[in-house]
A and B are shown apart, each in its own frame.
Chain A
Amino acid sequence: MNDKKPTTPRRDFLKTCATKIPQWLLVFSAFGPEQARAVDGESDYNPVEHNYAMGVDIHKCIGCGRCVDACKKENKVPEEPVYFRTWVERYVVPPEGEAHVDSPNGGRDGFPELPADREIFRTFFVPKLCNQCANPPCVQVCPVGATFVSRDGVVLVDDTYCVGCRYCIQACPYGARYLHPTKKVADKCTFCYHRIRRGLLPACVEACPTQARIFGEVGQQSSPLRRFLRFNDINVLKPALNTEPKVYYAGASREVR
Protein backbone atom coordinates (compact mmCIF):
# COMPACT_ATOMS: atom_id res chain seq x y z
CA MET A 1 0.00 0.00 0.00
CA ASN A 2 1.11 3.48 -0.79
CA ASP A 3 0.63 5.02 2.66
CA LYS A 4 3.05 2.50 4.17
CA LYS A 5 5.94 3.66 1.99
CA PRO A 6 8.64 5.30 4.11
CA THR A 7 8.75 9.13 3.79
CA THR A 8 12.37 9.53 4.79
CA PRO A 9 13.92 10.05 1.30
CA ARG A 10 11.84 13.22 0.71
CA ARG A 11 12.61 14.51 4.19
CA ASP A 12 16.28 13.77 3.63
CA PHE A 13 16.17 15.56 0.29
CA LEU A 14 14.65 18.66 1.83
CA LYS A 15 17.16 18.57 4.68
CA THR A 16 20.04 18.27 2.23
CA CYS A 17 18.68 21.19 0.21
CA ALA A 18 18.37 23.34 3.30
CA THR A 19 22.00 22.78 4.26
CA LYS A 20 23.72 22.53 0.88
CA ILE A 21 22.21 25.44 -1.10
CA PRO A 22 23.52 28.12 1.29
CA GLN A 23 26.89 26.39 1.15
CA TRP A 24 26.94 26.54 -2.65
CA LEU A 25 25.98 30.17 -2.52
CA LEU A 26 28.91 30.86 -0.24
CA VAL A 27 31.31 28.93 -2.45
CA PHE A 28 30.19 30.73 -5.63
CA SER A 29 30.46 34.17 -4.07
CA ALA A 30 33.90 33.41 -2.63
CA PHE A 31 35.34 32.45 -6.04
CA GLY A 32 34.07 35.50 -7.92
CA PRO A 33 36.63 37.50 -9.93
CA GLU A 34 38.71 39.86 -7.87
CA GLN A 35 39.95 43.11 -9.36
CA ALA A 36 41.96 46.07 -8.16
CA ARG A 37 39.68 49.03 -7.46
CA ALA A 38 41.71 52.14 -6.94
CA VAL A 39 42.91 54.44 -9.72
CA ASP A 40 46.57 55.25 -9.12
CA GLY A 41 47.25 58.10 -6.78
CA GLU A 42 43.85 58.65 -5.24
CA SER A 43 42.71 56.09 -2.73
CA ASP A 44 40.83 58.58 -0.54
CA TYR A 45 38.46 59.68 -3.31
CA ASN A 46 34.88 59.58 -2.14
CA PRO A 47 32.46 59.84 -5.08
CA VAL A 48 29.43 60.81 -3.03
CA GLU A 49 31.16 64.04 -2.01
CA HIS A 50 31.22 65.22 -5.63
CA ASN A 51 28.55 66.24 -8.11
CA TYR A 52 30.10 67.46 -11.33
CA ALA A 53 28.51 70.00 -13.65
CA MET A 54 29.44 72.36 -16.47
CA GLY A 55 28.52 75.88 -17.44
CA VAL A 56 28.49 77.09 -21.06
CA ASP A 57 28.60 80.83 -21.72
CA ILE A 58 27.18 81.39 -25.18
CA HIS A 59 28.25 85.06 -25.12
CA LYS A 60 31.89 83.97 -24.91
CA CYS A 61 31.99 81.20 -27.51
CA ILE A 62 33.94 82.25 -30.61
CA GLY A 63 33.31 79.03 -32.55
CA CYS A 64 36.99 78.17 -32.94
CA GLY A 65 36.29 74.44 -32.46
CA ARG A 66 39.27 73.86 -30.15
CA CYS A 67 36.97 72.00 -27.75
CA VAL A 68 35.84 69.62 -30.48
CA ASP A 69 39.44 69.03 -31.53
CA ALA A 70 40.63 68.47 -27.96
CA CYS A 71 37.74 66.13 -27.19
CA LYS A 72 38.43 63.99 -30.25
CA LYS A 73 42.12 63.72 -29.41
CA GLU A 74 41.65 63.14 -25.68
CA ASN A 75 38.92 60.53 -25.97
CA LYS A 76 39.99 58.91 -29.26
CA VAL A 77 36.64 59.74 -30.81
CA PRO A 78 36.55 58.36 -34.39
CA GLU A 79 37.79 60.92 -36.93
CA GLU A 80 34.80 60.63 -39.28
CA PRO A 81 32.84 63.89 -39.21
CA VAL A 82 29.69 62.21 -37.87
CA TYR A 83 30.98 61.10 -34.47
CA PHE A 84 31.23 63.70 -31.71
CA ARG A 85 31.18 63.75 -27.95
CA THR A 86 31.01 67.54 -28.13
CA TRP A 87 30.34 69.83 -31.07
CA VAL A 88 29.63 73.50 -31.77
CA GLU A 89 26.50 74.69 -33.57
CA ARG A 90 26.16 77.98 -35.39
CA TYR A 91 22.74 79.58 -35.07
CA VAL A 92 21.77 82.24 -37.61
CA VAL A 93 18.45 83.84 -36.79
CA PRO A 94 16.97 85.69 -39.80
CA PRO A 95 14.77 88.80 -39.36
CA GLU A 96 11.78 86.53 -39.89
CA GLY A 97 11.31 82.78 -39.77
CA GLU A 98 13.17 79.80 -38.41
CA ALA A 99 16.76 79.90 -37.20
CA HIS A 100 19.32 78.23 -39.48
CA VAL A 101 21.61 75.85 -37.59
CA ASP A 102 24.75 74.24 -38.96
CA SER A 103 27.79 72.46 -37.58
CA PRO A 104 30.22 71.44 -40.35
CA ASN A 105 32.52 68.76 -38.93
CA GLY A 106 31.21 69.74 -35.52
CA GLY A 107 32.87 73.13 -35.91
CA ARG A 108 36.28 71.51 -35.60
CA ASP A 109 37.73 73.31 -38.65
CA GLY A 110 35.95 76.58 -37.99
CA PHE A 111 32.88 77.77 -39.85
CA PRO A 112 32.69 78.64 -43.56
CA GLU A 113 31.47 82.04 -44.62
CA LEU A 114 27.72 82.44 -44.67
CA PRO A 115 26.09 82.81 -48.09
CA ALA A 116 25.96 86.52 -48.96
CA ASP A 117 22.18 86.46 -49.36
CA ARG A 118 21.55 85.11 -45.87
CA GLU A 119 20.05 87.87 -43.75
CA ILE A 120 21.33 87.99 -40.19
CA PHE A 121 19.17 89.29 -37.39
CA ARG A 122 21.11 87.57 -34.65
CA THR A 123 23.80 84.93 -34.72
CA PHE A 124 25.73 83.01 -32.07
CA PHE A 125 27.57 79.75 -31.38
CA VAL A 126 26.25 77.04 -29.08
CA PRO A 127 28.64 74.36 -27.83
CA LYS A 128 26.80 71.10 -27.22
CA LEU A 129 27.69 67.96 -25.28
CA CYS A 130 26.07 65.33 -23.11
CA ASN A 131 23.97 67.20 -20.55
CA GLN A 132 24.82 64.65 -17.83
CA CYS A 133 21.16 64.62 -16.80
CA ALA A 134 20.31 63.85 -13.20
CA ASN A 135 17.26 62.06 -14.60
CA PRO A 136 18.64 60.56 -17.82
CA PRO A 137 16.32 58.89 -20.34
CA CYS A 138 19.27 56.97 -21.82
CA VAL A 139 19.83 55.18 -18.52
CA GLN A 140 16.15 54.38 -18.14
CA VAL A 141 15.99 52.57 -21.47
CA CYS A 142 19.23 50.58 -21.25
CA PRO A 143 18.13 46.95 -21.11
CA VAL A 144 21.36 45.59 -19.63
CA GLY A 145 22.51 48.19 -17.12
CA ALA A 146 25.46 49.23 -19.29
CA THR A 147 24.88 52.95 -18.86
CA PHE A 148 24.32 54.55 -15.49
CA VAL A 149 24.71 57.65 -13.37
CA SER A 150 27.84 57.29 -11.29
CA ARG A 151 27.73 58.32 -7.66
CA ASP A 152 29.59 61.55 -8.54
CA GLY A 153 26.87 62.50 -11.00
CA VAL A 154 28.36 61.58 -14.38
CA VAL A 155 26.52 59.41 -16.92
CA LEU A 156 28.97 56.71 -17.99
CA VAL A 157 28.92 53.73 -20.37
CA ASP A 158 30.25 50.29 -19.42
CA ASP A 159 32.09 49.26 -22.59
CA THR A 160 32.27 45.62 -21.60
CA TYR A 161 28.58 45.37 -20.82
CA CYS A 162 26.96 47.37 -23.63
CA VAL A 163 25.31 45.15 -26.23
CA GLY A 164 25.09 47.90 -28.85
CA CYS A 165 21.30 47.89 -29.10
CA ARG A 166 21.19 51.70 -29.68
CA TYR A 167 18.14 52.28 -27.46
CA CYS A 168 20.02 54.95 -25.51
CA ILE A 169 21.00 56.74 -28.74
CA GLN A 170 17.33 56.93 -29.67
CA ALA A 171 16.32 57.97 -26.18
CA CYS A 172 18.75 60.87 -25.77
CA PRO A 173 16.82 64.07 -26.54
CA TYR A 174 20.07 65.97 -27.10
CA GLY A 175 21.63 63.68 -29.70
CA ALA A 176 24.67 63.33 -27.49
CA ARG A 177 25.31 59.62 -28.11
CA TYR A 178 26.62 57.64 -31.06
CA LEU A 179 27.49 54.03 -31.75
CA HIS A 180 31.25 53.62 -31.80
CA PRO A 181 32.02 52.27 -35.31
CA THR A 182 34.73 49.80 -34.26
CA LYS A 183 33.88 48.99 -30.65
CA LYS A 184 30.17 48.65 -31.55
CA VAL A 185 29.12 50.09 -28.21
CA ALA A 186 27.37 53.32 -27.31
CA ASP A 187 29.77 56.19 -26.67
CA LYS A 188 29.29 59.63 -25.19
CA CYS A 189 30.84 62.51 -23.27
CA THR A 190 32.00 61.47 -19.80
CA PHE A 191 33.03 64.98 -18.65
CA CYS A 192 36.48 63.39 -19.27
CA TYR A 193 35.88 61.26 -16.19
CA HIS A 194 39.43 59.88 -16.35
CA ARG A 195 40.76 63.45 -16.16
CA ILE A 196 38.53 64.84 -13.44
CA ARG A 197 39.34 61.88 -11.19
CA ARG A 198 43.00 62.92 -11.56
CA GLY A 199 42.18 66.53 -10.65
CA LEU A 200 42.45 67.80 -14.24
CA LEU A 201 39.87 69.75 -16.22
CA PRO A 202 37.91 68.08 -19.03
CA ALA A 203 39.85 68.43 -22.29
CA CYS A 204 37.29 70.81 -23.85
CA VAL A 205 37.44 73.12 -20.84
CA GLU A 206 41.25 73.02 -20.86
CA ALA A 207 41.35 73.89 -24.56
CA CYS A 208 38.69 76.61 -24.60
CA PRO A 209 40.57 79.88 -25.19
CA THR A 210 37.78 82.18 -24.01
CA GLN A 211 36.55 80.34 -20.90
CA ALA A 212 33.18 79.79 -22.53
CA ARG A 213 33.10 76.44 -20.74
CA ILE A 214 33.25 76.41 -16.97
CA PHE A 215 33.70 73.13 -15.13
CA GLY A 216 33.00 72.54 -11.48
CA GLU A 217 30.81 70.93 -8.89
CA VAL A 218 27.26 71.75 -7.92
CA GLY A 219 27.20 73.10 -4.39
CA GLN A 220 30.91 73.81 -4.21
CA GLN A 221 31.50 77.28 -2.75
CA SER A 222 33.84 79.89 -4.26
CA SER A 223 34.37 78.19 -7.62
CA PRO A 224 34.19 79.56 -11.16
CA LEU A 225 31.03 77.54 -11.73
CA ARG A 226 29.40 79.04 -8.65
CA ARG A 227 30.17 82.53 -9.86
CA PHE A 228 28.91 81.65 -13.33
CA LEU A 229 25.62 80.34 -11.92
CA ARG A 230 25.28 83.36 -9.68
CA PHE A 231 25.85 86.14 -12.17
CA ASN A 232 24.11 84.77 -15.24
CA ASP A 233 20.58 83.96 -16.25
CA ILE A 234 20.82 80.19 -16.49
CA ASN A 235 18.92 77.94 -18.86
CA VAL A 236 19.09 74.24 -19.51
CA LEU A 237 18.22 72.62 -22.82
CA LYS A 238 14.69 71.21 -23.22
CA PRO A 239 13.67 71.79 -19.59
CA ALA A 240 10.14 70.53 -20.33
CA LEU A 241 11.47 66.98 -20.61
CA ASN A 242 12.40 66.94 -16.90
CA THR A 243 15.75 65.39 -17.63
CA GLU A 244 17.37 67.78 -15.12
CA PRO A 245 20.49 68.53 -17.16
CA LYS A 246 23.70 69.46 -15.40
CA VAL A 247 25.09 71.46 -18.30
CA TYR A 248 23.97 75.02 -17.60
CA TYR A 249 23.73 77.56 -20.40
CA ALA A 250 24.04 81.32 -20.09
CA GLY A 251 22.62 83.27 -23.01
CA ALA A 252 20.72 80.40 -24.59
CA SER A 253 17.76 82.11 -26.22
CA ARG A 254 14.55 80.33 -27.14
CA GLU A 255 15.89 79.17 -30.52
CA VAL A 256 18.42 76.93 -28.79
CA ARG A 257 17.22 73.43 -28.10
Chain B
Amino acid sequence: MKVKKIPQQLIPLAFLLALAVAALVIMRLVLLPETFGEYGHYRALAVDDVAALDIAYAGHQACAECHDDVYELKQQSNHRGVACEACHGPAAAHIEAPDEYAPEVPRNREHCTLCHGYNPTRPTGFPQIIPELHNPRQPCMTCHQPHHPELPHAPEECAACHRQIVNEKAVSHHASLSCTTCHDLPAEHLVDPVMVRALKPSTREKCGQCHASNADSAPEIPRIELATHGEGYLCWECHYPHQPEANR
Protein backbone atom coordinates (compact mmCIF):
# COMPACT_ATOMS: atom_id res chain seq x y z
CA MET B 1 0.00 0.00 0.00
CA LYS B 2 1.36 3.34 -0.97
CA VAL B 3 1.29 6.04 1.68
CA LYS B 4 0.50 9.36 0.11
CA LYS B 5 3.30 11.79 0.66
CA ILE B 6 2.54 15.01 2.58
CA PRO B 7 2.76 17.86 0.08
CA GLN B 8 5.97 19.78 0.45
CA GLN B 9 4.30 23.19 0.95
CA LEU B 10 2.32 21.98 4.01
CA ILE B 11 5.38 21.17 6.08
CA PRO B 12 6.45 24.77 6.85
CA LEU B 13 2.78 25.69 7.40
CA ALA B 14 2.36 22.87 9.91
CA PHE B 15 5.49 24.03 11.65
CA LEU B 16 4.17 27.58 11.84
CA LEU B 17 0.85 26.34 13.21
CA ALA B 18 2.61 24.36 15.90
CA LEU B 19 4.66 27.42 16.76
CA ALA B 20 1.52 29.60 17.02
CA VAL B 21 -0.19 27.09 19.27
CA ALA B 22 2.88 26.89 21.48
CA ALA B 23 3.09 30.69 21.64
CA LEU B 24 -0.58 30.88 22.59
CA VAL B 25 -0.17 28.34 25.36
CA ILE B 26 2.90 30.07 26.75
CA MET B 27 1.31 33.54 26.54
CA ARG B 28 -1.78 32.32 28.36
CA LEU B 29 0.42 30.90 31.08
CA VAL B 30 2.52 34.02 31.44
CA LEU B 31 0.00 36.82 30.86
CA LEU B 32 -3.18 35.51 32.50
CA PRO B 33 -3.32 36.36 36.20
CA GLU B 34 -3.06 33.31 38.37
CA THR B 35 -6.57 33.38 39.72
CA PHE B 36 -8.27 34.22 36.42
CA GLY B 37 -11.03 31.71 35.76
CA GLU B 38 -11.05 30.29 39.25
CA TYR B 39 -14.75 31.08 39.77
CA GLY B 40 -15.67 32.48 36.37
CA HIS B 41 -14.37 34.64 33.55
CA TYR B 42 -12.63 37.07 35.89
CA ARG B 43 -9.66 37.42 38.21
CA ALA B 44 -10.77 35.92 41.51
CA LEU B 45 -8.41 38.15 43.52
CA ALA B 46 -10.20 41.25 42.22
CA VAL B 47 -12.97 40.49 44.74
CA ASP B 48 -10.46 40.75 47.57
CA ASP B 49 -9.03 43.94 46.09
CA VAL B 50 -12.46 45.58 46.29
CA ALA B 51 -13.15 44.12 49.74
CA ALA B 52 -9.88 45.51 51.08
CA LEU B 53 -10.73 49.18 50.36
CA ASP B 54 -10.84 51.55 53.32
CA ILE B 55 -14.12 52.64 54.87
CA ALA B 56 -15.05 56.27 55.52
CA TYR B 57 -18.35 55.82 57.38
CA ALA B 58 -17.83 53.94 60.63
CA GLY B 59 -21.46 52.96 61.22
CA HIS B 60 -23.72 54.04 64.09
CA GLN B 61 -22.70 51.12 66.35
CA ALA B 62 -19.15 52.48 66.45
CA CYS B 63 -20.39 55.96 67.51
CA ALA B 64 -22.57 54.46 70.25
CA GLU B 65 -19.58 52.81 71.88
CA CYS B 66 -18.22 56.12 73.21
CA HIS B 67 -21.18 58.50 72.82
CA ASP B 68 -23.70 56.17 74.42
CA ASP B 69 -25.48 59.02 76.25
CA VAL B 70 -26.22 60.92 73.05
CA TYR B 71 -27.08 57.70 71.26
CA GLU B 72 -29.56 56.65 73.96
CA LEU B 73 -31.19 60.08 73.91
CA LYS B 74 -31.54 59.93 70.14
CA GLN B 75 -32.99 56.41 70.23
CA GLN B 76 -35.86 57.69 72.40
CA SER B 77 -36.79 60.34 69.86
CA ASN B 78 -38.21 60.69 66.37
CA HIS B 79 -34.65 60.78 65.07
CA ARG B 80 -34.06 57.18 66.17
CA GLY B 81 -33.76 56.08 62.56
CA VAL B 82 -31.31 58.83 61.64
CA ALA B 83 -27.76 57.48 61.86
CA CYS B 84 -25.16 59.73 63.51
CA GLU B 85 -23.17 60.07 60.28
CA ALA B 86 -26.23 61.18 58.31
CA CYS B 87 -25.70 64.63 59.85
CA HIS B 88 -22.13 64.48 61.17
CA GLY B 89 -20.55 63.04 58.02
CA PRO B 90 -18.04 60.21 57.70
CA ALA B 91 -16.40 59.43 61.04
CA ALA B 92 -14.12 56.43 60.50
CA ALA B 93 -11.13 58.81 60.73
CA HIS B 94 -12.50 60.06 64.07
CA ILE B 95 -12.68 56.48 65.37
CA GLU B 96 -9.04 55.95 64.36
CA ALA B 97 -7.79 59.20 65.88
CA PRO B 98 -10.47 60.80 68.09
CA ASP B 99 -8.33 63.81 69.02
CA GLU B 100 -6.91 64.60 65.62
CA TYR B 101 -10.05 64.42 63.54
CA ALA B 102 -13.45 65.75 64.64
CA PRO B 103 -16.55 65.03 62.57
CA GLU B 104 -18.49 67.99 61.25
CA VAL B 105 -21.25 69.57 63.35
CA PRO B 106 -23.72 71.24 61.00
CA ARG B 107 -25.42 74.15 62.74
CA ASN B 108 -26.88 76.09 59.83
CA ARG B 109 -30.55 76.07 58.87
CA GLU B 110 -29.72 74.85 55.38
CA HIS B 111 -28.63 71.51 56.76
CA CYS B 112 -31.89 70.85 58.62
CA THR B 113 -34.01 72.01 55.69
CA LEU B 114 -32.37 69.38 53.47
CA CYS B 115 -34.94 67.08 55.10
CA HIS B 116 -37.42 69.44 56.77
CA GLY B 117 -37.76 72.23 54.22
CA TYR B 118 -41.10 72.15 52.43
CA ASN B 119 -41.00 70.27 49.15
CA PRO B 120 -44.22 69.10 47.49
CA THR B 121 -42.52 65.90 46.33
CA ARG B 122 -41.90 64.74 49.89
CA PRO B 123 -44.31 62.15 51.29
CA THR B 124 -47.41 63.55 52.98
CA GLY B 125 -47.05 63.74 56.74
CA PHE B 126 -43.27 64.17 56.80
CA PRO B 127 -42.62 67.17 59.10
CA GLN B 128 -41.73 70.15 56.92
CA ILE B 129 -41.53 73.90 57.40
CA ILE B 130 -41.27 76.77 54.96
CA PRO B 131 -37.91 78.23 56.01
CA GLU B 132 -38.84 81.78 54.95
CA LEU B 133 -41.90 81.76 57.22
CA HIS B 134 -40.79 79.59 60.15
CA ASN B 135 -38.72 81.81 62.52
CA PRO B 136 -36.56 83.13 59.68
CA ARG B 137 -32.80 83.26 60.20
CA GLN B 138 -32.86 81.62 63.62
CA PRO B 139 -30.68 78.54 63.90
CA CYS B 140 -32.94 75.49 64.30
CA MET B 141 -31.03 74.45 67.41
CA THR B 142 -32.27 77.50 69.35
CA CYS B 143 -35.60 75.71 69.76
CA HIS B 144 -35.05 72.11 68.59
CA GLN B 145 -32.51 69.72 70.09
CA PRO B 146 -31.45 67.58 67.10
CA HIS B 147 -30.70 64.53 69.24
CA HIS B 148 -34.20 64.71 70.71
CA PRO B 149 -36.19 66.81 68.27
CA GLU B 150 -39.50 66.85 70.11
CA LEU B 151 -41.42 70.09 69.72
CA PRO B 152 -40.28 72.80 72.15
CA HIS B 153 -43.89 73.74 72.88
CA ALA B 154 -47.27 72.75 71.49
CA PRO B 155 -47.81 74.68 68.25
CA GLU B 156 -50.37 77.46 68.61
CA GLU B 157 -51.70 77.14 65.10
CA CYS B 158 -51.90 74.41 62.48
CA ALA B 159 -49.82 76.53 60.07
CA ALA B 160 -46.68 75.98 62.15
CA CYS B 161 -46.40 72.55 60.58
CA HIS B 162 -49.03 72.52 57.82
CA ARG B 163 -48.20 75.88 56.28
CA GLN B 164 -48.53 74.74 52.69
CA ILE B 165 -52.06 73.41 53.24
CA VAL B 166 -53.06 76.56 55.12
CA ASN B 167 -51.70 78.67 52.23
CA GLU B 168 -53.59 76.63 49.66
CA LYS B 169 -56.81 76.82 51.62
CA ALA B 170 -56.41 80.58 52.13
CA VAL B 171 -56.93 81.28 48.42
CA SER B 172 -59.69 78.70 47.96
CA HIS B 173 -63.46 78.86 48.53
CA HIS B 174 -62.85 77.22 51.88
CA ALA B 175 -60.73 80.18 53.10
CA SER B 176 -63.13 81.15 55.86
CA LEU B 177 -63.27 77.68 57.42
CA SER B 178 -60.95 76.84 60.28
CA CYS B 179 -59.08 73.52 60.19
CA THR B 180 -61.11 72.12 63.06
CA THR B 181 -64.39 72.73 61.19
CA CYS B 182 -63.63 69.52 59.29
CA HIS B 183 -60.81 67.82 61.25
CA ASP B 184 -61.28 66.30 64.68
CA LEU B 185 -58.12 67.21 66.53
CA PRO B 186 -57.03 64.91 69.39
CA ALA B 187 -55.05 66.92 71.96
CA GLU B 188 -52.18 64.43 71.74
CA HIS B 189 -51.61 65.35 68.10
CA LEU B 190 -50.04 68.62 69.25
CA VAL B 191 -47.55 66.71 71.41
CA ASP B 192 -46.92 63.56 69.36
CA PRO B 193 -47.91 64.42 65.78
CA VAL B 194 -46.40 61.28 64.27
CA MET B 195 -48.23 58.71 66.37
CA VAL B 196 -51.52 60.56 66.88
CA ARG B 197 -53.00 61.95 63.68
CA ALA B 198 -55.69 64.56 63.16
CA LEU B 199 -58.74 62.89 61.68
CA LYS B 200 -60.34 63.39 58.32
CA PRO B 201 -64.17 63.49 58.27
CA SER B 202 -65.50 59.95 58.56
CA THR B 203 -69.04 60.67 57.36
CA ARG B 204 -70.59 62.25 54.25
CA GLU B 205 -72.86 64.25 56.51
CA LYS B 206 -69.91 66.36 57.66
CA CYS B 207 -69.64 67.94 54.21
CA GLY B 208 -73.39 67.64 53.80
CA GLN B 209 -73.86 70.24 56.57
CA CYS B 210 -73.11 72.85 53.91
CA HIS B 211 -73.31 71.02 50.58
CA ALA B 212 -76.45 68.84 50.93
CA SER B 213 -79.45 70.03 48.90
CA ASN B 214 -81.47 70.65 52.05
CA ALA B 215 -78.64 72.16 54.14
CA ASP B 216 -79.21 75.38 56.00
CA SER B 217 -76.31 77.33 54.46
CA ALA B 218 -75.58 80.27 52.17
CA PRO B 219 -77.38 80.02 48.81
CA GLU B 220 -74.20 80.37 46.65
CA ILE B 221 -72.67 77.17 48.07
CA PRO B 222 -72.70 74.31 45.52
CA ARG B 223 -75.28 71.65 46.41
CA ILE B 224 -75.51 67.94 45.77
CA GLU B 225 -78.09 65.26 46.51
CA LEU B 226 -76.35 63.52 49.39
CA ALA B 227 -78.30 60.29 48.93
CA THR B 228 -77.37 59.75 45.27
CA HIS B 229 -74.16 61.75 44.55
CA GLY B 230 -71.04 59.55 44.70
CA GLU B 231 -72.77 56.98 46.84
CA GLY B 232 -70.44 54.70 48.77
CA TYR B 233 -67.55 57.15 48.89
CA LEU B 234 -66.55 59.71 51.45
CA CYS B 235 -66.49 63.19 49.91
CA TRP B 236 -62.71 63.62 50.22
CA GLU B 237 -62.11 60.34 48.41
CA CYS B 238 -62.91 62.28 45.19
CA HIS B 239 -62.65 65.97 46.11
CA TYR B 240 -59.63 67.74 47.59
CA PRO B 241 -61.21 70.12 50.13
CA HIS B 242 -58.12 72.35 50.62
CA GLN B 243 -58.31 73.31 46.98
CA PRO B 244 -61.91 72.64 45.88
CA GLU B 245 -62.00 72.30 42.10
CA ALA B 246 -64.97 74.71 41.90
CA ASN B 247 -62.34 77.41 42.41
CA ARG B 248 -60.72 76.81 39.03
Chains A and B come from one and the same complex = yes
Using CB atoms and an 8 Å cutoff, list the residues of chain A in contact with chain B. 24-25, 28-29, 32-35, 37-39, 47, 59-66, 70, 73-74, 90-92, 110-111, 114, 120, 123-125, 145-151, 156-161, 190, 193-195, 197-198, 200-201, 203, 206-211
State A161–B121 Cα separation when bound (angstroms): 42
B53 closest partner in A (C-beta): A194
Task: Select which of A60, A158, A161, A195 is within 8 A of B55 by beta carbon.
Answer: A195
Which residues of chain B have C-beta atoms less than 8 A from A32's C-beta?
34
9 residue pairs, one from A and one from B, having the closest CB atoms: A148-B42, A158-B46, A194-B53, A32-B34, A209-B82, A123-B121, A197-B51, A145-B41, A28-B29
Report A108 CB to chain B, min CB distance, Å.
Answer: 10
Contact present for B30 and A74 (CB under 8 Å): no
Which residues of chain A have C-beta atoms less than 8 A from B50's C-beta?
156-157, 190, 193-194
Which residues of chain A have C-beta atoms less than 8 A from B156's C-beta?
none
* Size of interface on B: residues with Cβ below 8 Å to A: 44
Report A88 CB to chain B, min CB distance, Å.
Answer: 10
Pairs across A and B, CB under 8 Å, 16 listed: A24-B26, A92-B121, A145-B36, A147-B42, A149-B40, A156-B47, A158-B46, A161-B43, A193-B51, A194-B54, A198-B55, A200-B57, A207-B57, A208-B86, A209-B81, A209-B82
Within 8 Å of chain A (Cβ to Cβ): is B117? yes
Contact present for B57 and A63 (CB under 8 Å): no
A212 closest partner in B (C-beta): B123
Report B27 CB to chain A, min CB distance, Å.
Answer: 11
State A64–B116 Cα separation when bound (angstroms): 9
State A47–B38 Cα separation when bound (angstroms): 14
- For chain A, what secondary structure do more than half of its interface residues adopt (helix, strand, loop), or is it mixed? loop
Contact present for B82 and A194 (CB under 8 Å): no
State A256–B219 Cα separation when bound (angstroms): 46
A205 closest partner in B (C-beta): B83
Contact present for B52 and A210 (CB under 8 Å): no
Contact present for B121 and A206 (CB under 8 Å): no
Identify the interface centre among B33, B43, B47: most chain A CB within 10 Å of its CB: B47
State A64–B121 Cα separation when bound (angstroms): 11
Task: Select which of B29, B43, B117 is within 8 A of A29 by beta carbon.
Answer: B29
Identify the interface centre among A33, A114, A200: most chain B CB within 10 Å of its CB: A200
Contact present for B85 and A206 (CB under 8 Å): yes
State A36–B54 Cα separation when bound (angstroms): 17
Which residues of chain B have C-beta atoms less than 8 A from A209's C-beta?
79, 81-83, 86, 115
State A101–B99 Cα separation when bound (angstroms): 44
